[in-house]
Chain A
């Protein structure tokens, strides 16, 4: 339940989120083959004394040679995979264990169980120490041990000064082996969870994101369903203990550790800690079926706003798809950055939105969500939908220009270095590939794949994956101020977002 964004409430008043979907969560690999734009050759040590007269005349010397440091991979006989990444810049050691099994594997009548589990795993303490005692100990040492969850995994992560490693890592082991899930922390977490449910219709974007995800995947899909008062209320301590028993086994674990240590010594420590644990059973991923969304216009009334959140959604692709690279280039040129078509047309030229973007969704092991979204004043809601559709239709018609292709590919390839410019990033990528069963050199494949993409490929994938007539269009906004009635787009399906009250007597969250 790491959704306590309210804690950060004073921080962001204005956020330029010009880039919304970051499709390239890909990393690391050799830099040697990187194309170097042929510019006026000039030695850097003796720069010309006069400033360049145009940006195109600025010399660009060859990039410094760079070979990212790969982490060392060790697989123990019980199945745990360990990555060791030495990094001696700072006296810190940070680690994470990713454990197979996440919220998509929880029962439909207990949605929220894995989120609650991750919260109370840490706050509920161990057999010998309460969570509060752990808090005191860790804070006094400026260390952190935290658990979290995603649709397919749980995580336990730790961070400490190097000098405290031998005191902090045992806390992690204790939580793995002897968690207690104390009832008072379960009650607290449930109360907080219920409070978050009660607040889920306050924020325009939160509503838009949640409801559009349900439209794309269907409301019952494990990737889109929401926790309700009843599903949270139904979760018991026994459920959390059972989940722990089912998932916490070396065969489900990928451990990554980075920092100021000697790899050989650290490997020994980790072998000692994990080597004798029984292998356990691999968590079987939930079998999930994906259907196309029901096309049409969907509407959520929110009468205390003056801006509409608009989303057009559809099913996307997974990254095993051979079209992945062409889709990445298309996403970059269409909805990527400052120079993308959506940004240029809808924001800069028409002034219709501050936030606009989107692309075909790409996830590792299931179809991502194709999503195009914008926020525009109530009085240009219909104009906004028209503008998004016009751009999508324009892309489908084809004729992507060579200049756009060059720009998009250059943007991906020239910034490629930032996929692996720190040892932590390289480690995180390797862990991700290990988890999803992608080859360790996937980043290199990615780069090569991007280089081969042609404008004909982009035209083809635009036709193949963009179907405006099949997309679900969601508007969250204040209908009385719209420029046109939404029914002019077709039958309007109104979504009732009233939060279902708990069926059991007694309000959740009350003491």
Chain B
């Protein structure tokens, strides 16, 4: 379950140079091999025939992520994703009716415990302990019926590889690959887990997810810095909240919360499923429809209301850390539907791609003040997000040393035209990278699914080139001037502080 940047990556590589021919890779050749079908319940299926070997990969993309969470339930989109591996009413249980009854008791006991534990007035420690014990006892009773990890076990013993999922701010995705003769088994398994998900062992899994937070945020210097950076950059929009969730919420949200989230957002009209590999549309589509058609249609969720207000002044966060320094700054930019989206992609490539990129040549090669430097869009796509600049100072340099040279590069973009060679180089690389991404089932499934979901048409994977070709030197200067303004900037720096012999508190203030 990783926070993927597939989508952004896919968009960056989605430029094609029209000047160059794409014999086997053009839209026409893909048209012949791709079938798209929208089922009666609203679910979209994209199927691509690629019989290179008797295998296939799939990618289920749910148009809901951590952005859909509110206060008190941060981390829930990701938590649900973990629960989608817990089995079904058939898989993972020795006796579903009995387990169901036991799980209902767990929820009742947990609600009572949580209510007392969070009481603002008159909280009774003794009562909290009793209720916690009652909840634990109910949990143990429910555990009696569990066949541990049977869902994953079936996938693996049937030859599945790469079984995983990912939750990001904009979306949640599920994927693995199977031998070609397990297509129907896959269709069965993938729909069963989204028909009636079972909140089995929810609270133990919540502990697992909390460990994931400790690993990826609390105990990681970059994790600590980025959490603070986004928190500062967004004051209203949910992009400012961590996908993994705040510690308090990871100790509070319930299985009932997760079920409610599922019912609201895991709606067929909100999902795209892509299958790529040794499949024939004429045979596979009826099978897929037979199973995925079982998911009942439900109303699509309401769109997000909150928008980030324009930033009024520079924001800055400084972390004193035991680690070596890091620097990141970001500027608000519009979402991927904006007409300037391709300009930002161009900027990202110019600044970051390879040893000819501007940030590498300036900060790493010539000034030798950084060991890595890059810029790009983060942390999402669907809503207005950030264009960031990041640098890891080389030994002997501070995080603050990065600011000047980064701003010099920004100034260059604002005041001087990029060269024709640079523009052409970006277009050529984009074309080649697009081609390089077409050579395996899983990568294709991801890209086709992304574009189908974001643009409503997988063909945009190839058409984005037209947008790139339209980008002019003047566009680059205009967008740089529009975006890279001081009052639109958020800076986060990590400066090194030697460890003290007796630290007063852990960096994260974790409860015990």
Contact = CB atoms under 8 A, between A and B. Distances in A.
A90 B226 contact: no
B396 A510 contact: yes
Contacts of A55: 90-91, 154, 185, 188-189, 192
Given A55-B185, A64-B180, A135-B356, A351 B5 contact: no
A376 B211 CA distance: 6
Interface residues of B, number: 123
Contact of A338 (B5, B85, B226, B378): B85
A14 B3 contact: yes
A139 B214 contact: no
A463 interface: no
Contacts of B355: 123, 132, 135, 139
A228 to B, nearest CB: 14
Interface string B381-408: 0000000101011111000000000000
A-side interface mostly: loop
Contacts of A90: 24-25, 435-436, 438-439
Interface in B419-440: 421, 424-425, 428-429, 431-433, 435-436, 438-440
A61 interface: yes
B108 interface: no
Given A68-B53, A303-B503, A509-B394, A15 B1 contact: yes
Interface in A48-64: 49-52, 54-55, 58-64
Interface in A337-357: 337-339, 343-344, 347-355
Given A6-B372, A90-B435, A353-B208, A481 B506 contact: yes
B246 interface: no
A307 B214 contact: yes
A407 B326 CA distance: 46
Given A6-B392, A13-B243, A161 B432 contact: yes
B411 interface: no
Contacts of A402: none
A305 interface: yes
A290 interface: no
Contacts of B212: 14, 16, 354
A204 B219 contact: yes
A49 to B, nearest CB: 7
A257 B157 CA distance: 34
Contact of B55 (A61, A188, A378, A418): A418
A493 interface: no
A377 B176 CA distance: 30
Interface stretch (B39-47, B316-324, B333-341, B449-457): B316-324
Given A142-B432, A304-B507, A13 B421 contact: no
A89 to B, nearest CB: 6
Contacts of B201: 348-349
Interface in A349-391: 349-355, 375-379
B1 A414 contact: no
Contacts of B160: 415
A132 B85 CA distance: 49
A66 B356 CA distance: 43
Given A15-B216, A307-B215, A339-B152, A417 B429 contact: no
A250 B122 CA distance: 81
A51 B291 contact: yes
B257 interface: no
Contact of B153 (A140, A141, A407, A417): A407
Contacts of B55: 417-418, 421
B435 A306 contact: no
Interface string A418-431: 10111000000000
Nearest to A418: B161
A92 interface: yes
Interface in A395-429: 406-407, 410-411, 413-418, 420-422
A91 interface: yes
B425 A379 contact: no
B211 A338 contact: no
B157 A414 contact: yes
A12 interface: yes
A195 interface: yes
Interface in A1-58: 4, 6-7, 9-16, 18, 31, 44-45, 47, 49-52, 54-55, 58
Interface in B259-292: 278, 283, 286-287, 290-291
Contact of B221 (A192, A202, A511): A202
Contacts of A510: 395-396
Contacts of A480: 503
Interface string B173-206: 0000101111011001100100000000101111
B61 to A, nearest CB: 17
Given A14-B2, A414-B179, A478-B506, A421 B52 contact: yes
A416 B278 CA distance: 16
A47 B218 CA distance: 51
A421 B53 contact: yes
A374 B465 CA distance: 45
A142 B434 CA distance: 11
A7 B351 CA distance: 13
A51 B290 contact: yes
B156 interface: yes
Contacts of A496: none
Per CB-CB distance, the 8 closest pairs between chain A and chain B, nearest first, are A338-B152, A414-B159, A351-B207, A142-B432, A339-B153, A305-B219, A421-B53, A307-B214
Given A55-B185, A63-B181, A481-B506, 13 more contacts: A10-B379, A13-B242, A14-B1, A14-B216, A16-B2, A47-B290, A58-B188, A60-B185, A63-B179, A192-B394, A204-B220, A305-B214, A406-B157
Interface of B: 1-3, 5, 23-25, 51-55, 78, 85, 90-91, 143, 148-161, 163-167, 177, 179-182, 184-185, 188-189, 192, 201, 203-212, 214-223, 226, 242-244, 278, 283, 286-287, 290-291, 294, 321-324, 326, 353-356, 364-365, 368, 371-372, 374, 376, 378-379, 388, 390, 392-396, 421, 424-425, 428-429, 431-433, 435-436, 438-440, 499, 503, 506-508, 510, 512
Interface of A: 4, 6-7, 9-16, 18, 31, 44-45, 47, 49-52, 54-55, 58-66, 68, 88-92, 123, 132, 135-136, 139-143, 159-161, 188, 191-192, 194-196, 198-199, 202-204, 303-307, 336-339, 343-344, 347-355, 375-379, 406-407, 410-411, 413-418, 420-422, 478, 480-481, 507-511
7 contacts: A11-B3, A55-B188, A60-B184, A140-B421, A188-B365, A338-B85, A407-B156
